[in-house]
Chain A
Amino acid sequence: MTKANPDLGSLAEKFIEQGLWDAELVAQLDDAAIDELFEHLVAHSAVETAAAAADFESVVLDDEQQAAVLSLQSYYLGEVARRPEAGSAEQQLARPSTWLAIEPAVRDRDFLIRLQQRRLRGLGQRCLRDLADLLGQSRTAVRDFLAGPPGYGLATAENRNRGKPQDEGTEEFAAALTRSEVPDVFKRRWLEDEP
């Protein structure tokens, strides 16, 4: 029996780099998956070996390669131009789903919901910048959105913060952040930040 969607790339990477081999998982793979794992192993070892031997400092691109770079930049600019309209930043930030999309990084769903509801006061510049980067929005758009009246989207079903003060109002950002499950790296950056 084949295990559903095993990450064969990761399996190959762990074996080549750390010598770790999940024999139980490999034993469950069918012929096609074994073939694919073999291809991952070959690709991983070939590229890592080539990278280890590569001399990155002395690369000088010739005319043809410079032209290839220009062609690639042209491709990139074309892809940017072809992007569909995503709606205004304000519309996107007003959606809880926009904020919940960054939960894997910020880790605290309730904290994000209170941000989206504009119920936290006193965010610093660094926090605004980090949030803007995580959300893929401009800092100005995030700042302007958060400056709006509190309570936006209050009816959302996710409004169930266990430790939330029962004041139905706003709260100091630092206090909410301190008791949140936001990763320490963000807490450190944002707590030492000037509002």
Chain B
Amino acid sequence: MSEDGSDPEELFHPAFVARALEWAEQLTPEELLAAAKIDQKSASGYIPEAALVRLVRRHRVEGAKELSDRLSHPLIMRAYAFAHAVCKKFGHEQRELVHEAMIAFLDDLAKNDSIDWWEITFHRELKNRIKDAYRRLFKRHRNRSVTFGEEHERSDGGMCAARLARDASLAAIAEKYLKTPERRRLFMLIMSGDLPIEAPDGSEDLVRLTGKAKSTLAGLKQQFTRIIQDALAEKEL
């Protein structure tokens, strides 16, 4: 359902979004920014999130980049607050769910200039992204007891030994510098380099294995690389 109670099936702005956009056209940039910060639906001058998505895109394509960038802040703030409220009861997993849903939203906001469902049923879309993130999380919990097959004896020119030494070093760094078992698990998966972050054509990749977004994994890889660099620098000292 859309914010005004209708259930739109077509890709055009529902009446409440069209009205807000027509009203917003009459505002100066300062007035528009002030209105975008109003987050109480009942307050005068409130602009729905779906209309704000269009305004961010519209000013971006019209070359008013600074205004578009400034408008994006209250929009992201309001989307984050909504996702945060929905995920509040999911305990320590709330943060990850909110982050993944927000990244999915921001990818669409950044990469698409034309009308999409974010401009029609904004909250429904955001809940759907939270569901996607929850589903990946749930799947990960179901799969965490997966056991791997036995290693078979083979002659590999020392590769296996080198790999064991590397993994032992990584495990030692993870143990020393990372607090949670989940972070340590991700560290080992990402830094062992056994799987690519994303390989849609391959049989396995980290996105599918961990259920995390590509951007999240790329960010983690950067963090973990710095941890290894710092750990090695410390050792040299």
Contacts and interface: CB of A to CB of B under 8 A. Distances in A.
Which bracket fits the contact residues of A? 35 or more
B174 interface: no
A42 B131 CA distance: 9
B60 A80 contact: yes
Interface residues of B, number: 52
A27 to B, nearest CB: 23
Contacts of B13: 133
A83 B130 CA distance: 25
**Interface of chain A, main secondary structure:** helix
Nearest to A82: B110
B62 interface: yes
Contacts, number: 124
B186 interface: no
B67 interface: no
A73 B127 contact: no
18 contacts: A39-B135, A43-B132, A46-B134, A47-B127, A47-B131, A47-B134, A54-B86, A59-B84, A59-B85, A68-B80, A69-B77, A76-B76, A76-B110, A77-B69, A80-B60, A102-B114, A183-B10, A185-B10
Given A72-B80, A75-B106, 12 more contacts: A42-B138, A43-B134, A51-B86, A57-B40, A59-B82, A79-B111, A80-B60, A80-B110, A105-B10, A133-B114, A136-B115, A189-B18
